[in-house]
Each structure stands twice: as structure tokens, then as C-alpha cells.
Amino acid sequence: MALIVQKYGGTSVGSTERIEHVADKVMDSRAKGNDVVVVVSAMSGETNRLLALAEDISDHPTPRELDVLLSTGEQVTIALLSMALEKRGCAARSYTGSQVHIRTDSTHNKARIREIEDKRIHADLAAGRVVVVAGFQGVDDNGNITTLGRGGSDTTAVALAAALKADECQIYTDVDGVYTTDPRLVPEARRLDRITYEEMQEMASLGSKVLQIRSVSFASRYNVPLRVLSSFEEGEGTLITCEDKEMEQALISGIASNRDEAKLTILGVPDTPGVAYQLLGPIADANIEVDMIIQNVAPDGATTDFTFTVHRNDYSRALEILSRTADELGAREVSGDDKIVKLSLVGVGMRSHAGIASTMFAALAKEGVNIRMISTSEIKISVVVDEKYLELGVRILHEAFDLAQPEKI
């Protein structure tokens, strides 16, 4: 008998019919002999409805009160799902984050989970009940309601699975797993049976919106097997787990693309110690996140050139700040481009295989796709290219690495 934590997002519980369907899926898992803990989000649309009420009242709603307000969304869902289970003759009990002691820090609207009391849940499971827990919410040491921020229900599910030492944490969503790349771009894209935490984190951070990156790193830290699967279709989904030494890993797991990029370049900056901080400090102070950073010594040997990328929404603000810094430092020129995208190869297999990068560059060059920036990590190679090459680039790489073929195990 296994202990399974299942998480259903807003779309999966978007109506009472959908909630009935979720109850059926929970019953299926019980029928297989599993103990089940279910984590649910607010019904889709509900969080936005509540936010609109708050915005009606105030442009800057008190963070503490916003959490009191938003946490009602999941509370409605846990009650309805428990009713649906009870109707099916399945004993169930709902808990808010506060009731089940999901302890967080006091950072309202984006709190972090510190610990979860598992006794009450284990007692319910031992009594044969399904436990239904409100995602996204917790309680601080003073009894104040907190929320974990958008997507926090995934984190709740993983944290619960870790605390309960569950055998698997299943994230039900509107896609049926993790793909080698976006199937809307490449129809041949293939669902992966399995992917490592590290690869999933790179995929998530590179724009694959299947899972919250925070929940993946949480799962990795506590070694919780995570499965992404569809609440609308049958299937095994994709299992996200730690690297299995026994098994030959695929070279490349997938190709991620990120459309919302912009790059900024500053040329001819006097090359003195601390110059990187002088350039990027003001950008960070403006709460703009910087992604890739490249520095080259300029041909003259006395100055240096910098290029970095930011989210496209932050482009004009970043350009303004950088121009001011350029004046102060006596740099030669500032330029930028917000019509770029990032393509990334991700795969733990590339660690032990040489030549991945050159294969990638050759494939792109052959089709005339010009590479503007390159950045690498142990399990990832990212290139920045012109926006117009996004779809073409992804397709070229998907084919170059033969990703439409099932993994050779």
C-alpha cells in the first residue's frame, strides 16, 4: 500500500462537475489500495474574482488582509471536494493550511513553508479517511493566515509529500506530462517518461510552464518522486526523480525556449575592479532580474564590453538605468535589442558526452541561424538568437538530437 499526495490545480477543480471528476480520480487511486492526501487550488477564476474585490477597495491592499481574503478560495474547494468524496461513501476530511499547521514565515503573499505537522494527517489516514488540504496557504507563529504566492499549491503538495514521507507526489494539470519541447512548435515532440529534478528545474526556469520551479527544487531537496500528469486524460505522465546511475541517461532531455528576453550591451567601459558591480548594482536595486551575463575585454585592452539579458517587460527601464551608469563611468556606447529569444538544450547526459555544443552550433549554422550570445552550465547550453528564429531554431535542434525517437534504454 502506497501513500500518494495528489495535487489538482484551478482548471482541474474549475466547476462542480470538474470537482466530481477529481473525486472519481481519488476513488480510483483508493481502489488501487493507496492512501491518498489531496491538495487543491482555488476554482479557476476565483482568485481573480477576489483580487478584483480587493482592488475595488484599495490600490495597495494590506498584505495580511489580502492573505485572509485569497485563502478563502482554496477553502471553498476543499469543502466541496470532501462533500463529493463523502457522497461516494468515502470518508474524507478537509483542512485549511492553518488547521493542518502548515507553518510558514510571516512574509505575507509569498511566505515560505517551515514545517508541517504530520500527526493529524497520519491519524486520519489510519482511520481510513482521504485528507483534503488547501494548497497555497499556511499560518505563521502568531496564527496569522499566510499565502505562498501564485503556484504555491504545487509547493504545498511537495512539502506535504516530504513531511508525510509519501511514495509519490502527483501533480495533475492540463498537460499530460513533460515534453521534449513545446508540442505547439514541434508536433513530433515526445512526452518524456522520466526526467531528473535538475533537468526539470532548467526546463522550468527556461519557460516550460508545467511546474513551479520552487516545488521542483523542494522535491529535489527532500527526494520526493514527482509525477506530472493530466487530470483530463488517462496516462502515466512524466516522473521527475533523482538521477538513476543504473540507467543510461538520454543525452538530451529536451529543448526549452524563452520568448520574453531582451539584451543590453555597454561598450568601452574602463576595465577597473568592481566595474561589474557598478553596472549591475543599479539594475538589481530596481528589482530587475538579470539572466545571462557576458563580459569580454575590448580590442583596446584597457576597456571592457558587457552584455546581459533581462525580461522583456523590464527592457526600457533597464536601458534607462544603464545609460545613466554609462554616463557616470564614461563608457563609450550603450545599445540594446528586445527582439531576441533564448533556446536551450537540457540534459544530464551532456555531462559525460563531448561534442554536444558543437553539434548544436553546427545545426543552427547550417540553417543560417545566427547566434548572438552563448551561455552554458553543466546540464544546459543556451543560445540567444533573433526572435524570428524561435520556431525554426527549436525544430532544428529537436531534429538534430533526434528527440522524436523514444529514449534508448
Residues that bind its own copies (CB under 8 A): 16, 19-20, 50, 53-54, 56-58, 61-62, 64-66, 68-69, 71-72, 75-76, 78-80, 82-84, 86-87, 92-94, 96, 98-99, 143-145
Q: Pick the closer one to its own copies by CB: 80 or 162.
A: 80
Q: Which residue, among 39, 14, 173, has the nearest Cα to 100 in the 3D structure?
A: 39
Q: Pick the closer one to its own copies by CB: 71 or 217.
A: 71
Round to whole Å and give the CA distance between 187 and 404: 9
Q: Least Å distance between CB 135 and its own copies?
A: 15
Residue located via cell numbers 493566515: 145
Long-range (24+ apart) CB contacts under 8 A made by 156-159 are 156/7, 156/39, 156/97, 156/102, 156/113, 157/5, 157/6, 157/7, 157/39, 157/215, 158/5, 158/215, 158/218, 158/219, 158/222, 158/224, 158/226, 159/102, 159/113, 159/116, 159/218
Q: Least Å distance between CB 157 and its own copies?
A: 19
Helix locations, 175-229, DSSP H: 197-205, 213-222
Q: Least Å distance between CB 70 and its own copies?
A: 8
Q: Pick the closer one to its own copies by CB: 16 or 272.
A: 16
Q: Which grid cell is 204? A: 522550468
Q: Which residue, among 251, 248, 240, 253, has the nearest Cα to 351 in the 3D structure?
A: 251
Q: Least Å distance between CB 132 and its own copies?
A: 9
Q: Least Å distance between CB 90 and its own copies?
A: 11
Q: Pick the closer one to its own copies by CB: 115 or 320.
A: 115
Round to whole Å and give the CA distance between 71 and 101: 14
Name 294's bridge partners.
Answer: 307
Q: Pick the closer one to its own copies by CB: 71 or 249.
A: 71
Q: Least Å distance between CB 207 and its own copies?
A: 33
Q: Pick the closer one to its own copies by CB: 143 or 301.
A: 143
